[in-house]
A and B are shown apart, each in its own frame.
Chain A
């Protein structure tokens, strides 16, 4: 069967089970878009900016566990994808991005809307391709999807010159890929698993730190079995949130810069760290040389390059989390670390970390807690990046697997709205709340039009403090309260929503919060609530930059000045 290159893309996407594409067309993708109506199985969602396409594909992929697909045209279309691709790469999200390219004879001539997007995205993709003949398309698409979804998932980019889309060739979809060099290790080495089990069985103060790898591997049941069998307290990373029910007695929240004080104290005091599907990011470990100073470390990860990259590891296990945990659980003995668990419970009582103080003003934490209550914790929460992201991580209890979607590694402001659209498209039966800040939302606010045009019923809670809040907090604590370039004059978001054609509400007082949320939930389409929150509220607990997890700052008592606020000049070298 002879097909054009464009038809081959359509045909191949259908064979890979793709249902949704997020994208914007342009000159160099016209032939591809022209054949899309031939493939009605492929729903195309027109976004308003390519960054939105990549984030929406990312949100879709995280919510469904499937490969997210986005399209963008050559030149600026392709470069606008870059932030979204980097975001997916750092958070190991399976994605296939297809970009248009100028026709082959024009490549390298600085033609109109030509950029070397394969060159630009080399360090932020798992792999990428410049397609030079139509006949290679089926093999490349097959391989791209395989690479994106297997091993440590990640984004793969296919750059498609305009004339290749028109070129005709025989279409043969390969049954398997031929890549002798690519064989992710799934099964953990038995000797290493044995060693790990021995360490676990001998430990008195073990702690599990679970990351996004658990969610990717869908190892929810295996993780729970390990926790319960050996009674090991569990802590998650930011992206590990919702891989384990947070109401479980052995769940001790999140660690790291804005983690719970008791979680950080537990890691600091532990004699064994069992790190599962996480990568010891500097926001999680704080000062890495003082991380878990008394502990042996077992590190389970599918990516061998993560082992020993940031933290010394005593027992590395390379493999798929689910497969490794199945094997490990067989060798782990039942145990009850009564004293250790009691110690953690004492710490949790003494340093509650998630209590919300009484206040006349509308506290952002209270809004998050109310969303939890109104949705009965059943919603998928998608966040932007900033203070609101941390409050969403701290004050909502995630019991259902994979219900927290956030930009962790890259920390991309503007991720929230498009990712929420992607998540809702992927999970139409779930309630999807985008908890966003006024700064973060304005980076991709144009996607409100996408939600309206495509009838995507996302609910948006803007925690508006008229600041770039997280940066303002740092200026307050470490830069002598000099608020340079952080005050924002944000627009009237309710009128913005109305202008885009959907309803919104403004909320200024505590008692209006729950009724407003209920109204939003009752609305069939998108809904936005503009919460005017306490403007100079800070995120606590906080581990200051350069400090270790043990040096966590808690919320100062009313009227007290935050302690240990060093001026920036005296800050130690760290990744700020």
Chain B
């Protein structure tokens, strides 16, 4: 079953996330990851969902989300040209013997070491989830102590956005500065 990326612009009000989560649970939708944060428009949050399922199920996810009053717009951007990124923080067991080997791997993946302790290092990595998965595969042998992943975020390439948001009309007396 293909993975779908669904992006949603939602009004930044209390309870929105609750409402969406409740909807996923009640309709039995399986959400692989969900990432929420501010969007380019004030009062709107952008949510990126990765959904694993048949096309008809994903279509229902999209439609049911669109029905929520606080959801402004929903798009399935799976087929579009997109840039997707995920960030992960990985705390790996590291001894004086293994540290340099870990650092080499980190270099190859263009990741960063953001914290070093006596018996561990913490690595920050961004990329698509395949890259993060393969880094994790390599590090697993050293012993992964803690892992935090943000879930995917995505934008379509180029100028057009599947979620155009109208700019608020300029109010009287407010002039554009040059």
Q: Which residues of A contact B (CB under 8 A)?
A: 118-119, 122-123, 126-127, 130, 147, 179-182, 303-305, 307-309
Given contacts A179-B69, A308-B56, contact A123 B64 (CB under 8 A): no
**B60 touches which of A118, A122, A181, A305 (Cβ 8 Å):** A305
B72 at the binding interface (Cβ < 8 Å): yes
Minimum C-beta distance from B120 to chain A (A): 38
Chain A: CB-nearest residue to B22: A122
Besides A181-B70, A305-B60, A305-B67, 5 other A-B contacts (C-beta < 8 A): A130-B15, A181-B69, A304-B67, A305-B63, A305-B66
Q: Which residues, 1 to 36 on B, are CB-close (under 8 Å) to A?
A: 11, 14-15, 18-19, 22-23, 26
B76 at the binding interface (Cβ < 8 Å): no
Given contacts A180-B72, A181-B73, A308-B56, contact A122 B67 (CB under 8 A): no
Q: Is the CB of A303 within 8 A of B67?
A: yes
B59 at the binding interface (Cβ < 8 Å): yes
Q: Is the CB of A305 within 8 A of B64?
A: yes
Minimum C-beta distance from B74 to chain A (A): 10
Distance in angstroms between the alpha carbons of A180 and B31 in the assembled complex: 27
Chain A: CB-nearest residue to B165: A180
Residues of A within 8 A of B11 (CB): 181
Minimum C-beta distance from B169 to chain A (A): 12
B71 at the binding interface (Cβ < 8 Å): yes
Q: Which residues of B contact A (CB under 8 A)?
A: 11, 14-15, 18-19, 22-23, 26, 56, 59-60, 63-64, 66-73, 166
Chain A: CB-nearest residue to B11: A181
Minimum C-beta distance from A71 to chain B (A): 22
> 17 A-B Cβ contacts within 8 A?
A119-B18, A122-B15, A122-B18, A123-B22, A127-B70, A130-B15, A179-B69, A180-B72, A180-B166, A181-B11, A181-B73, A182-B69, A305-B66, A307-B63, A308-B56, A308-B59, A309-B60
Distance in angstroms between the alpha carbons of A97 and B13 in the assembled complex: 21
Distance in angstroms between the alpha carbons of A304 and B70 in the assembled complex: 17
Q: Is the CB of B69 within 8 A of A122?
A: no
Distance in angstroms between the alpha carbons of A122 and B18 in the assembled complex: 8
Minimum C-beta distance from B19 to chain A (A): 5
Distance in angstroms between the alpha carbons of A309 and B22 in the assembled complex: 19
Residues of A within 8 A of B26 (CB): 123
Q: Is the CB of B23 within 8 A of A181?
A: no
The 10 closest A-B pairs by CB, nearest first: A305-B63, A181-B72, A127-B69, A122-B22, A123-B26, A305-B64, A304-B63, A305-B67, A182-B69, A123-B22
Residues of B within 8 A of A309 (CB): 60
Residues of A within 8 A of B166 (CB): 180
Residues of A within 8 A of B15 (CB): 118, 122, 130
Distance in angstroms between the alpha carbons of A119 and B23 in the assembled complex: 12
Chain B: CB-nearest residue to A123: B26
Chain A: CB-nearest residue to B69: A127
Q: Is the CB of B19 within 8 A of A122?
A: yes
> What DSSP secondary structure best describes chain B's contact surface?
helix
Residues of B within 8 A of A122 (CB): 15, 18-19, 22
Residues of A within 8 A of B60 (CB): 305, 308-309
Distance in angstroms between the alpha carbons of A180 and B9 in the assembled complex: 12
Chain A: CB-nearest residue to B72: A181
Residues of A within 8 A of B68 (CB): 127
Minimum C-beta distance from A326 to chain B (A): 25
Residues of B within 8 A of A130 (CB): 14-15
Residues of A within 8 A of B66 (CB): 304-305
Chain B: CB-nearest residue to A122: B22
Chain B: CB-nearest residue to A143: B69
Residues of A within 8 A of B63 (CB): 304-305, 307
Distance in angstroms between the alpha carbons of A448 and B60 in the assembled complex: 43
Residues of A within 8 A of B56 (CB): 308
Chain B: CB-nearest residue to A129: B15
Residues of A within 8 A of B72 (CB): 180-181
Minimum C-beta distance from B65 to chain A (A): 9
Residues of A within 8 A of B67 (CB): 303-305
Residues of B within 8 A of A118 (CB): 15
Distance in angstroms between the alpha carbons of A308 and B11 in the assembled complex: 27
Minimum C-beta distance from A47 to chain B (A): 28
Given contacts A118-B15, A122-B22, A123-B22, contact A181 B59 (CB under 8 A): no
Minimum C-beta distance from A99 to chain B (A): 15
**A123 touches which of B23, B59, B70, B71 (Cβ 8 Å):** B23
Minimum C-beta distance from A104 to chain B (A): 13
Minimum C-beta distance from A493 to chain B (A): 39
Minimum C-beta distance from B94 to chain A (A): 43
Minimum C-beta distance from A297 to chain B (A): 15
Chain A: CB-nearest residue to B64: A305
Minimum C-beta distance from A89 to chain B (A): 12
Distance in angstroms between the alpha carbons of A276 and B71 in the assembled complex: 27
Distance in angstroms between the alpha carbons of A126 and B19 in the assembled complex: 11
Residues of B within 8 A of A182 (CB): 69
Chain B: CB-nearest residue to A307: B63
Residues of B within 8 A of A307 (CB): 63
Minimum C-beta distance from A101 to chain B (A): 14
Minimum C-beta distance from A171 to chain B (A): 23
Chain B: CB-nearest residue to A124: B26
Minimum C-beta distance from A179 to chain B (A): 7
Distance in angstroms between the alpha carbons of A139 and B22 in the assembled complex: 26
